[in-house]
Amino acid sequence: MSLLSDKSLFDREDLGLARRLGLALVRPRRSFAAVAERETAQDWLVPALLACAVGLVAHFATVDLVTNPDSPYVQQALQAMDEAQRERYLQGAQVLRAHGWLMVPLGVFSSLVVVGAVLSVVARAVFGTPLSYRQALVLKGYATLALIPEWLVRTPLVLLTANPNLRTGPSLFVAPGETRGFFGRVLAAINFFDLWQLWIVAIGAAVLCRASARKTAATLAILYLAWTIAGAVLEGLHAPAPAASPGS
């Protein structure tokens, strides 16, 4: 079955790649309607490369904050460590300064590959519509563009606050001590820009799979929530046990 009717194929806009990518963040339905059934490798490769380029700028702008032994953040962190921990931290900082930039393209492309595979499976299992791996890569590729405004917002905030662990989610508005419990860890894991990506993928999946936007949004929201909760549980299992109070 064709993803789009012949009439919609005839009537849809003929948008170039640059225009499709520009609209993907704000009007994703137009972008996906224009690219449906004529996807190319450029549709997932170009947004991934753009995100990598901005991510690398963000990395090099902030890496000194966590690798320079003279930075206030590092000095404060070292004060809470014993000698062996300090040595390991400083060795890790040297590695991060030299090779940490590799985490940006590795993170972007590994997420593209894995999420693309998941989307392809979910489309067939939940929506009952075949979604080629290339189409799934395009879905995630267009959503990956949301990393660009995320880094453009987060980088200056990190530099202003000297806090590399700055959150860009609801936990930004609560005190740090309130994110230690399970609910707090879930709250801290939620990122507004991840929700932006989720919205783009949901709209794109509705277009490419000819499914209800509500159904695609609900399905992806459930998956995102399950992933977030699982992460919070694992973080709690690996968190150090609180020290016993005197007299306990």
Does the pLDDT at position 2 exceed 70? no
Does the pLDDT at position 214 exceed 70? yes
Judge contact between 164 and 66, C-beta under 8 A: yes
- Where residue 8 falls among pLDDT bands split at 50, 70, 90? very low
- Where residue 104 falls among pLDDT bands split at 50, 70, 90? very high
Does the pLDDT at position 126 exceed 80? yes
Instruction: Let me know the angle formed at the C-alpha of 201 by 233 and 169, rounded to the nearest 5 degrees.
Output: 45
CA of residue 153 relative to chain centroid, distance: 14
**Is residue 87 in some structural domain?**
no
Q: Which structural domain range is residue 17 located in?
A: 10-62+101-237
pLDDT of residue 12: 63
pLDDT of residue 233: 86
**Is residue 2 in some structural domain?**
no
**Is residue 68 in some structural domain?**
no
Does the pLDDT at position 60 exceed 90? yes
Number of domains in the chain: 1
Q: Which residue type sits at 7?
A: K
**Is residue 69 in some structural domain?**
no
Does the pLDDT at position 23 exceed 80? yes
Does the pLDDT at position 245 exceed 50? no
pLDDT of residue 195: 96
Distance separating alpha carbons of residues 203 and 130, to the nearest angstrom: 16
pLDDT of residue 14: 83
pLDDT of residue 248: 32
Share of the chain above pLDDT 70, in %: 89
Using the 8-state DSSP alphabet, how is residue 129 labeled? -
**Is residue 245 in some structural domain?**
no
Q: Is the pTM of this model over 0.75?
A: yes
Does the pLDDT at position 243 exceed 50? no
**Is residue 163 in some structural domain?**
yes
State mean pLDDT over 109-113. 97
Distance separating alpha carbons of residues 197 and 193, to the nearest angstrom: 6
In this predicted model, what pLDDT tens digit does every residue of 155-177 receive, in sequence order? 999 999 998 988 888 887 776 66
**Is residue 40 in some structural domain?**
yes
Mean pLDDT computed over every residue of the chain: 87
State mean pLDDT over 213-224. 93
Distance separating alpha carbons of residues 85 and 81, to the nearest angstrom: 6
Distance separating alpha carbons of residues 102 and 59, to the nearest angstrom: 10
pLDDT of residue 46: 97
Interhelix angle 192-208/28-35, rounded to 10 degrees, is 40
**Is residue 4 in some structural domain?**
no
